[in-house]
Structure 1
Amino acid sequence: MAPPKNQLLFEPHASIVLVGCRGAGKRTLGFMGALHLRRRLVTEDQYFEKLTGLTRGDYLDRHGRDQFVRQDVDVFKRMLDDNRTGCIIECGMSSFNDEAQAALRDYARTNPVVYVHRESRKIFELMDDDAAARQLLEADASHRRCSNFEYYNLYDDSRPAGPPSAGWNVPGRPQDPDGHGGAVSPGPANLLAAQQDFARFLDIITGRGATKAWLESPFSVAAIPPEFRSYSYALRLRLSYLLSMDLEWAEFEARGDCVELIIDTWPPDLGNEIARQVALIRRHLGVPIIYHVEEDPRGERRRPPEEKNPADKELLELGLRLGVEYISVDLQRDESLVRHVLQHRGRSKAIGNYWYTGLGALPWQDARQVDHYERARALGCDIVRMVRFCTNDSPAECLDDFKRRLNEAIPDPKPPLVAYDFSVLGVRTPLQTRILGPVKHPDMDNGREHLATVSTAYHSLELQFRQFLLDPLKFYVMGSNVSYSLSPTMHAAAYDFCGMPHTFQAVGCSTLDRLQDLCLSDSFGGASLTAPFKVAIMPHLKVKSHHATAIGAVNVLLPLRGRTSAILDHANSRNKAGRAHDFFGDNTDWSSILTCLRRAISPRNHVQPSRTTGLVIGAGGMARAAIYALYQLGCRNIFLYNRTAANAEAVAKHFNDYWAGTPSACPTTAPTANGSRSTSPTAANGAPAREICRVLRSLDDPWPSGFQQPTMIVSCVPATSVDGSNPPAEFEMPPGWLQSPTGGVVVELAYEPLVTPLVAQMRSIAQAELPAWTVVDGLEVVAEMAIEAFELMTGRPAPRTLMKQVCRKAFERQQERRDLNNGAGPEAATSTGW
């Protein structure tokens, strides 16, 4: 049996077209997408003026409506034809024209055409005319017929509290103890959530997401799909529940490796409601989605086949249009429906299902079970899921025997198998299937859910440790000054949340011999490293991530215990004890800084490679990470200031030499708002022709001419004494370096005290009502570091909100203890990392 040909696999560089009505957010998304993919942004208005020499309004006034309409359609077609690769194309109102939509349908055979829409209430608010808004939305629905993908543009409510005119406020003590963004002070909406959502969507439909993550750091959670992990869990969420959910989205965080969205009811406006729920899952949980259409939704009337198949086909197509990571297909359904879905799956992975839900279900011993698996494999399914209802007719050994017979009958490579028994009490045991085990939230009502009635990710993971399939391990933060680290408290809380009996300790040490003694233990799970190990350990590591190599420093150390030399085998040996063959080094300092910068930067200060300027204070390991973070954001004008200029020169030389030798890592072009292409000077060999990283030698010097004032500043100097003898840095910015007319963002890595001299200075500037600056405090960066380290060390999604809450509460307790001791603090708390 030949598998159906996949008709929605496009070339990776095929241009992406955005269509939709006014107010859908196409222009903003287009700009975000062009920045993310490093493509040229083409807008319909700009292209019309480029070809005709007139704006659309001027052309209409000069030539009249009839000629304008003809010219408009001709320009639209040419815009598509002339920009088939390497672009994000934003279509205007011309896409409502019948002839233009015919051109889009033809274009959709070779390129992604994305229908962008959003909550209808936002369109009504924008139009301020209900009749006109209804008419626009009715016409907008036609875009579904000329597109092959769909993106529901959720309203981004990430605007910090407080009026824009208030600038920002730096707290004397951490505010918002619940951990909901209190570290980033009020300022303009930054559209961070929308940017992250759309970037994830583009990565899915272009197929670049997992590949990019794997190449950069194969131990990251995003790098290994759930079906290839040593164990994984699918959180089952029914549409009927989501429509009136009694839990907050934050409570579902880290409850599964992916979400299975089950379409089990037909509310009014079903298509838009499903699109909205997919968008909400991506916005709040950020995990892959399995999209499943239930064959006979409860509470809905039974439909005859001639009505049922077209309706289910439309619903399954919607899941594919939304770019879900996995499409669940029941292989016992109509053959034409199955093949149609597989033909249009694009980059969504297909899960082929065989459900046996009634009494007399096909036993595992039956030879037809192997035949069914073989059929799923022959159809091209990426995963095969086989589930049967049982009473007392199937001892647990029967499934094990079936798996053995399957391995003997069908040679590798073959699709991963998800197989388990269930009864009215739920799954027989979470350990029957190693991957994509069905789980639920512990507080969810069980009334309509039987496959996962008694299973949660916590219960399933805890059971693996109790049965010695996984081992309790010891994790550490190591360095010369770590006694007051907040990491142990954050990691311990995450272990408790996940059901893992690991421990995390702060160990003060300063020699590689002492570090090696701890790492060679069979129970060593991993370590976060601070000074003096970040650079010193580099020559001793067999394997390092791409980022660690570029930065020249490591802050996370992992043992390699795989039975083979394959990195995947090592990654899947996490949470297991044994002798380490070697060690892997990664760097999460940079990505934590990057996350905080992205969260705080305003749209008007978006990064323009040839113009945006960043400034880093310091020349240690964290300064290296900050420079790399700015580079990854697209900044190509980076200045470095350090009290000892020679150290700054060495760091700048490291990065300039590295980037000059790796031209592929340094894109020389980037999109601009008007569709033109911004080009950085390059040498003949493709490397940058000018320095990217420059050194500032004195705080008394004026800001260098020819460069914009910095809009991104990262301070990497300790606010307290590092060695107990030298005075602390007490750093403040020269006023002449803070003259950006649009303000910017300051990331302060120190948090002892939380209000450092730099933070106090920025507070004064805000009170003077100068352009708004946003400050990210050191606790926010520390929490991000712990979150990323937890995921690298355990391979589990981190309970991010919980860890941030614990970080701030632990810091408050430290401050209270110091207040009781009359302010006597540690002599050597560096507080600029772990």
Structure 2
Amino acid sequence: MSAPKNERVFDPNVSIVLVGCRGAGKRTLGFMGALHLRRRLVTEDHYFEKVTGLSRGQFLARNGKELFARQNIDVFKRMLDTNRHGCIIECGMSSLAEEAQDALRAFSRTHPVVYIHREREQIELLLDAADAKQLLKADETHRNCSNLEYYNLYDPSNHASLSILSSGLPMEGRQGSCKLLGAREDFARFLDLITGRGATRAWLESPFSVNAVPPELRSYSYALRLRLSYLVDMDLEWEDFEARADCVELIIDHWPDDLLNVVARHVALIRRKLGVPIIYHLGLRLGVDYLSLDLQRDEALVNRVLRHKGRSKIIGNFWYLGIPALPWYDDRQVENYSKARSLGCDVIRIVRFCAGDSEVEVLEEFKRRIQRTFPDPKPPLVAYDFSVLGVRTPLQSRILGPVKHPDMENERDHLATVCTYHHAFELLFRQFLLDPLQFYVLGSNVSYSLSPAMHTAAYEFAGMPHTYQAVNCPTLDNLNQICSSDSFGGGNLTAPFKVAIIPHLKVKSHHATAIGAVNVLLPLRGHTSVILDHANSRNKAGPAHDFFGDNTDWSSILTCLRRAISPRNYVQPSRTTGLVVGAGGMARAAIYALIQLGCRNIFVYNRTVQNATAVARHFNEWAAAQGIVGSSGSNGGGGGQTTNGSGHESGLGNGIDGGALLPLPEIVRVLPSLSDPWPAGYQLPTMVISCVPASSHDGNPPAVFEMPVGWLGSPTGGVVVELAYEPLITPLVAQMHAFRDRNSASSCPPWAVVDGLEVVGEMAIEAFELMTGRMAPKRLMREVGRKTWEGQRRGVATSYSNFGR
């Protein structure tokens, strides 16, 4: 038996169509998707007006219902036909017409057509009750003309106020989220999966990222089993399931009347709340990461799933649940593997009920037999015995071992009743399959770093016997001595190493190379040149033959910016302006974060202009090599760039003058003085990142930075990210408090402030994941960081720099 043709792997650049009920959020998601994929957004209303020269209402008033209905369908078909590539197409209510749905069904043979729906009560809030009932009933027909669906889960941050400046201790959740941040991140992950660009991009940028290596290719991975019957009336909070496994397997054992919507909602909840890959037994339409397929079912059903799997991976299953179960030594087990392999399964899972009739050695011999019989590359094998007490031992399966939450009662799920992620991972160290390692934060002034407390709490949560220390380390010789230990697991680097270490590293992430600074150092063990082998050697001791450098400063800043920036200030590449204060390693990361956010007008201010000039030159040369073009500065920064169909910005300023190409506009510029007015032709900054240490490393007076009042005149407000956290109220933060107080009675838009504690928490989270390869318990680490800072604040009278991370 061979694998049937996969009919739902679309060309990555074909247009994506969004259909659904009024109020489902298609327009908003379309805007988010177009920004994420760098595509053009086509809306049905705008396209109708473009074609006819009239709005829908005007056309209806002039021509009557019959001609309007005919024109509506003709324009709808034309919209699909003329925008087949490089677009996100948002359909209006014309998609409810039968002829339009016929056109969508034909379009879906070669394009993703995504049905957008959401909670009934949320749509009813937006529409008249009678209209809502009728419209929601008609909306169900969209499932028949689409090939994918996305449940637009309600995002409470849509109604959250912007960040309010606080004058006291930081509180969890004090900073208001960017509106619809959760929806934006969820939809971006969904689009990455259906277009096939997510995992590849993560791997190329940093192979040690927790998302770069899929669970089936990791050294050890675990699947948290969650039953629908439990989720519909769960007694734990979603946050309690964070970092409890590498992926979630959703099991349908409950069939409510509205099953399709209930399942779609819970897939959306898992995607939103836990952010891990999803294994699902049915959902061809939901864009999940893995489809669990029972290969003992009817051949026609198996082939149907394989034909429509899209970019979801297939886990081919053989379940032996009765007595006697097919033994491991039976040749039919090898035939099972061979069948699944021939069908193109990405993972093969064989599970059997054991009543004491199978020794552990028999299963191990079966695995060795598979290894000998089938050449590489071959699908990873998941094989284990279970009994009424659960999986017989967590070490039976190296990957996708079933686990449960330690506080979750689920008597029906015998596959995981006694096994938790903490217990299973801790057992690997007890069996000496993994080794206790030493991790560090290293630099010239790290005595009061918050990182040891945050990392130690995360190790305890995950069952890792690692240690994490802050060590003052002023020279490269000191650094080399620490890193040469066989038990060195990794280190966070601070001043003076972030830039100085670069010439000594042969292997760096894409981001670290671009930034020219490293803040995470990882050992590369063994003599293999395969980077995946090194990624899978984390949590193991041994001599390091080389080191890998990465940078998480930029991504932590980027995360904080996304949370705090308001929709009015969403980045427009040709217009939005950012300001970075400082010219060290953190300033480099801040500039890179702004570039990744899409900002193309970036200014740098530093007390030593020469240092700022060197940093600006570095990024302008890098941006030119990447084809990233800055604004020419005319018309508020709007000239000098356009966007081509692939989403890459290209300069219009590269015209021919006497046969020579004009230079590309700069992306980063230097501000020589705080007394100068803001440069003409550029909008005032809406993103300000202060990278100035609050205390000095070298005995000189610390830099004191306050924004010139004239630079705070953005008509839409903005966001200030302060990286220093000791003291928490820096001169810049104090200035923003005063600015808020002076303008509280006016209509001046507020400025959001992200303090250094929020940024340092994100840095610790990302470093933990890079160093260990495990999902970080984010809520726990943030809370521990905050409490540790509060304790230091009560016990330490003098201020110190925050850069000992």
Change (3 A) 1:699 1:412: same
Q: How does 1:656-805 map to 2 (within 5 A)?
A: 656-663=620-627, 669-670=642-643, 680-681=651-652, 683=654, 689-723=664-698, 725-767=699-741, 768-769=743-744, 770-805=748-783
Residues 562, 572 of structure 1: 8 Å contact kept: no
Stretch deviating more after TM superposition (62-71 or 197-206): 62-71
Q: Deviations over 1:281-315 (max 9, x none)?
A: 010000000002xxxxxxxxxxxxxxxxxxxxxxx
- Alpha-carbon deviation of 1:14? 0.8
Change (3 A) 1:224 1:118: same
- Alpha-carbon deviation of 1:487? 0.3
Change (3 A) 1:676 1:523: closer
Residues 218, 567 of structure 1: 8 Å contact kept: yes
Question: What is the distance in 2 between the residues matched to 1:78 and 1:830?
Answer: 61
Secondary structure at the counterpart of residue 468 of structure 1 = coil
- Counterpart of 2:801, as a letter, is T
Report whether the alignment pairs 1:209 with 2:198: yes
Question: What is the distance in 2 between the residues matched to 1:223 and 1:594?
Answer: 19
TM-score (norm 1): 0.92
- Counterpart of 1:175, as a letter, is M
- Alpha-carbon deviation of 1:722? 2.8
- Alpha-carbon deviation of 1:171? 3.1
2:580 is matched with which residue? 616
Report whether the alignment pairs 1:175 with 2:171: yes
Q: Which residue of 189, 195, 198 maps to 2:187?
A: 198
Question: What is the distance in 2 between the residues matched to 1:501 and 1:368?
Answer: 42
Secondary structure at the counterpart of residue 243 of structure 2 = coil
Q: How does 1:415-454 map to 2 (within 5 A)?
A: 415-454=379-418
Residues 527, 545 of structure 2: 8 Å contact kept: no
Report whether the alignment pairs 1:221 with 2:210: yes
Question: What is the distance in 2 between the residues matched to 1:727 and 1:378?
Answer: 69
- Alpha-carbon deviation of 1:677? 11
Change (3 A) 1:706 1:833: farther
Question: What is the distance in 2 between the residues matched to 1:14 and 1:278?
Answer: 25
Question: What is the distance in 2 between the residues matched to 1:460 and 1:671?
Answer: 50
- Alpha-carbon deviation of 1:671? 9.6
Residues 38, 648 of structure 2: 8 Å contact kept: no
- Alpha-carbon deviation of 1:665? 9.4
1:396 is matched with which residue? 360
Secondary structure at the counterpart of residue 284 of structure 2 = helix
* Greater RCO (CA < 8 Å, at least 6 residues apart): 1
Question: What is the distance in 2 between the residues matched to 1:58 and 1:687?
Answer: 47
Report whether the alignment pairs 1:233 with 2:248: no
Q: Which residue of 523, 531, 536 maps to 2:500?
A: 536
1:140 is matched with which residue? 139
Report whether the alignment pairs 1:370 with 2:334: yes
Secondary structure at the counterpart of residue 320 of structure 1 = coil
- Counterpart of 2:271, as a letter, is R
Q: How does 1:222-371 map to 2 (within 5 A)?
A: 222-292=211-281, 316=282, 319-371=283-335
Q: Deviations over 1:202-245 (max 9, x none)?
A: 00100100000000000001100000000000000000000000
- Alpha-carbon deviation of 1:280? 0.3
Query: Can you give the 5+ residue segments of structure 2 that lack an aligned partner in the other structure?
Result: 632-640
- Counterpart of 2:664, as a letter, is A
- Alpha-carbon deviation of 1:257? 0.2
Secondary structure at the counterpart of residue 573 of structure 2 = coil
- Counterpart of 1:243, as a letter, is V
- Counterpart of 1:140, as a letter, is D
Residues 622, 833 of structure 1: 8 Å contact kept: no
- Counterpart of 1:794, as a letter, is T
Q: Deviations over 1:617-661 (max 9, x none)?
A: 111110000000000000000011111111111100000011111
Question: What is the distance in 2 between the residues matched to 1:280 and 1:417?
Answer: 29
2:126 is matched with which residue? 126
2:637 is matched with which residue? none
Report whether the alignment pairs 1:100 with 2:100: yes
- Alpha-carbon deviation of 1:404? 1.2
- Alpha-carbon deviation of 1:391? 1.2
Change (3 A) 1:686 1:557: farther
Query: Can you give the 5+ residue segments of structure 1 that lack an aligned partner in the other structure?
Result: 293-315
Q: Deviations over 1:333-352 (max 9, x none)?
A: 11111111111000000000
2:369 is matched with which residue? 405
Stretch deviating more after TM superposition (520-529 or 702-711): 702-711
1:639 is matched with which residue? 603
Change (3 A) 1:233 1:626: same
- Alpha-carbon deviation of 1:51? 1.3
Residues 498, 518 of structure 2: 8 Å contact kept: yes
Change (3 A) 1:682 1:784: farther
Secondary structure at the counterpart of residue 678 of structure 2 = coil
- Alpha-carbon deviation of 1:566? 0.2
2:635 is matched with which residue? none
- Counterpart of 1:642, as a letter, is N
Report whether the alignment pairs 1:630 with 2:604: no
Change (3 A) 1:115 1:688: farther
Question: What is the distance in 1 between the residues matched to 2:630 and 2:285?
Answer: 33
Question: What is the distance in 1 between the residues matched to 2:99 and 2:253?
Answer: 38
- Alpha-carbon deviation of 1:320? 1.7
Report whether the alignment pairs 1:824 with 2:798: yes
Between the two proteins, the alignment pairs up a number of residues equal to 788
Residues 645, 697 of structure 1: 8 Å contact kept: yes
Q: How does 1:38-57 map to 2 (within 5 A)?
A: 38-57=38-57
- Counterpart of 2:341, as a letter, is R
- Counterpart of 2:562, as a letter, is R
Question: What is the distance in 2 between the residues matched to 1:123 and 1:746?
Answer: 35
Change (3 A) 1:713 1:89: same
- Counterpart of 1:228, as a letter, is L
- Counterpart of 1:171, as a letter, is S
- Alpha-carbon deviation of 1:96? 1.0
Question: What is the distance in 1 between the residues matched to 2:551 and 2:80?
Answer: 42
Displaced runs of 4 or more, over 4 A = 159-162, 664-672, 675-680, 684-688
Question: What is the distance in 2 between the residues matched to 1:202 and 1:158?
Answer: 21
Change (3 A) 1:669 1:498: farther
Change (3 A) 1:353 1:628: same
Secondary structure at the counterpart of residue 544 of structure 2 = coil
Question: What is the distance in 2 between the residues matched to 1:763 and 1:582?
Answer: 48
The sequence identity of aligned pairs, in percent, is 70
Change (3 A) 1:682 1:369: farther
Question: What is the distance in 2 between the residues matched to 1:690 and 1:671?
Answer: 17
- Alpha-carbon deviation of 1:670? 4.8
Question: What is the distance in 1 between the residues matched to 2:304 and 2:533?
Answer: 36
Residues 38, 671 of structure 1: 8 Å contact kept: no
1:30 is matched with which residue? 30
Residues 602, 744 of structure 1: 8 Å contact kept: yes
